[in-house]
Structure 1
């Protein structure tokens, strides 16, 4: 298994350590050009503070890397971006870029789930081979003595503080032969970002591309037993999302968009949606990323007003 030690903004770390109940974070990079390929999903990224505080102070588990407009990253994660306000996040990006940024300027977003933050007595000294000249980070493999030692130090601390993630005790599931920390659920912000990316930033029904009016809709709401899973999501324009939640529209298990006659009966309207009635929605090409047929059946049979 690989792990990555990433040089971390000290203020970002301290702010997030003080937030209660943080289930996900956006470990963002101010540039909008350099990609991130150092980790596979579920592999750990560890936070190392800037010198002179050369310590590993926490980490999280890699979900995905995406380039996102920084304003959309704020709308999706809010303070889980590591700042208290949107304006503070903008100022921090501008500090690194040394120029003003517009709302649609992209940043690199390393999405992490199940983050953990160590109190100072549990901080781990940076490895001897982690040079102070390293600007971004350094990767290790648990097949090597140093990598295995680092991972052992991290897991020992997580067990000691009863972190929200759990160390897999059995042999499976494993990644590259090593036990990893696993929790299947995504956070709300990660769900929104991944669903948006999954549908190529277009409403599955109307084709609308204006990002501010696109919502990651749960097919089956969390309150009804649904989860923040990619196959439980549809990217819908805001008005279509509200109608979907209220049962005035649905998507059938075979992917057809239906408009209820109740929309006309209740509001003497609904004409803007009729051109899409009985049309197939746009779906991602990867079957794993497509909406779950059972969830669609749950909505079309139990929520849709007919």
Structure 2
């Protein structure tokens, strides 16, 4: 990155287990930054690719591209039952690993940690620090959140003051539908070991501030 040496950028395709991996060649790019645990590249060949000012924006763009591609490549449901099964698979995947969500439902008494909503169908197991294997599924690294608030957390549009443990909202949400959540105290489990760890909240807060500086 220091010498602006271009590198070849490849994207691994999803292949069946046991088969040799295959790659799409995206072109040449120059590494220009390192943030949030990711390298950022600028294309030198004019190849179009996901762009963004933060790793979260780039990952969101990549996910949208992959999701769109999946919709194109996947055959339509065979019948109404097949369609409903696909919808439920997506819901389960979004809610989080079953055992992790079950532990958070118990710790937070089946209520959203911000709003207190008790509609369990829309409560999701949110990781504070990104998922990096089973060890990430610790209750102290999670929150039980309403689905829309989970999305805001993932997009670094919402965080918590690590000292007061009150909700912080991005300035892009000021005056909108979520404005009344700013400053709201987090609902925490009664057992201390189940509460979000101080260092985890501090890391989320730091990432939020960095993202705010880029917006």
TM-score, scaled relative to structure 1: 0.35
Q: Which structure carries more relative contact order (alpha carbon 8 Å, separation 6+)?
A: 1
Larger Rg: 1
Higher strand share: 1
Higher helix share: 2
TM-score, scaled relative to structure 2: 0.49
